[in-house]
Amino acid sequence: MIVVRTIADLRAELRDRRTGRIGFVPTMGALHEGHASLLRAARTDGDTVVMSIFVNPTQFDEQSDLAGYPRTEDADLAVAAAEGVDIVFAPDAAEIYPDGFATTVSVTGRIAETLEGAERGRGHFDGVATVVTKLLLASQPDAAYFGAKDAQQVAVLRRTVADLNLPVQLVVCPTSRDADGLARSSRNTRLSEEERARAVAIPRALQTVADAAASGIRSSDALRGRALDVLAEALIPLEYIAFVDPDTFEPLPLVDRPTLVAIAARVGATRLIDNTVLTPEPFSTTGGS
On whether residue 97 sits in a domain, the answer given is yes
User: Are 191 and 162 in a shared domain?
Assistant: no
- What does each C-alpha distance from 137 to 48, 96, 164, 185 come to in angstroms? 16, 11, 11, 26
Q: Please check if 124 is assigned to a binding site.
A: no
Do the domain assignments include residue 287? no
Confirm whether residue 148 is marked as ligand binding. Answer: yes
User: What is the predicted pLDDT for the residue at 282?
Assistant: 61
pLDDT at 66: 81
User: Do 32 and 164 fall into the same domain?
Assistant: yes
Please say which residue of 173, 202, 229 terminates a domain: 173
Tell whether 248 and 163 lie within a shared domain.
no
φ/ψ of residue 193, rounded to 5: -60, -40
Residue 123 and residue 215 in one domain: no
Residue 286 lies in a domain: no
| Global pTM value | 0.93
- The reply, when asked if residue 34 is annotated as ligand binding, is yes
How many structural domains compose the chain? 2
> What CATH code is carried by the domain that includes residue 95?
3.40.50.620
The answer to whether position 181 is within a domain reads no
134 annotated as a binding-site residue: no
> Do the domain assignments include residue 33?
yes
For residues 159 and 197, state if they share a domain.
Answer: no
- 41: annotated binding-site residue? no
Is 150 one of the annotated binding-site residues? Answer: yes
- Assign 3-state DSSP to the chain and report helix, strand, coil percentages, each to 5: 45, 20, 35
As a whole number of angstroms, the distance between CA 259 and CA 279 comes to: 7
Q: What DSSP letter does each residue of 151-207 carry, written as one string?
A: HHHHHHHHHHHHHTT---EEEEEPPPB-TTSPBP-GGGGG--HHHHHHHTHHHHHHH
pLDDT (0 to 100) of residue 74: 97
Is 183 flagged in the annotation as binding?
A: no
64 is in an annotated binding site: no
| CA atoms in the 13 A half-sphere facing the CB of 70 | 16
Integer angstrom CA distances of residue 214 from 31, 172, 208: 35, 24, 10
**Amino acid at position 281, single letter:** E
**Boundary-marking domain end, from 151, 173, 195:** 173
pLDDT score recorded for residue 289:
29
Look up the CATH number of the domain holding residue 263. Answer: 3.30.1300.10
Q: Which residues are catalytic?
A: 35
Question: Is residue 210 part of an annotated ligand binding site?
Answer: no
Torsion angle (degrees, nearest 10) of CA 51, 1, 87, 28: 30
Residue 288 has a pLDDT of 37
Which of 139, 173, 207 is the endpoint of a domain? 173
Residue 14, marked binder: no
User: Does one domain contain both 16 and 112?
Assistant: yes
Residue 272 and residue 136 share a domain: no
Q: Is the same domain home to 137 and 258?
A: no
Q: Are residues 160 and 250 in the same domain?
A: no
E strands present in the chain: 2-4, 22-27, 48-53, 87-89, 143-147, 169-173, 238-244, 259-267, 270-278
Structural domain that includes position 194: 186-276
| Residue 114 lies inside a defined structural domain of this protein | yes
- Decide if 223 is inside a domain: yes
What pLDDT tens digit does each residue of the chain (289 aa) get? 999 999 999 999 999 999 999 999 999 999 999 999 999 999 999 999 999 999 999 998 777 778 878 789 999 999 999 999 999 999 999 999 999 999 999 999 999 999 999 999 989 999 999 999 999 999 999 999 999 999 999 999 999 999 999 999 999 999 999 999 999 998 899 999 999 999 999 999 999 999 999 999 999 999 999 999 999 999 999 999 999 999 999 999 999 999 999 999 999 999 999 999 999 876 433 333 2
Same structural domain for residues 195 and 149? no
Please tell me whether residues 264 and 139 are part of one structural domain.
no
Any domain includes 199:
yes
Left (φ > 0), alpha (ψ -120 to 50) or beta: where does 15 sit? Answer: alpha
Statement to judge: residues 113 and 165 lie in one domain:
yes
| Cα–Cα distance for residue pair 254/76, rounded to 1 Å | 43
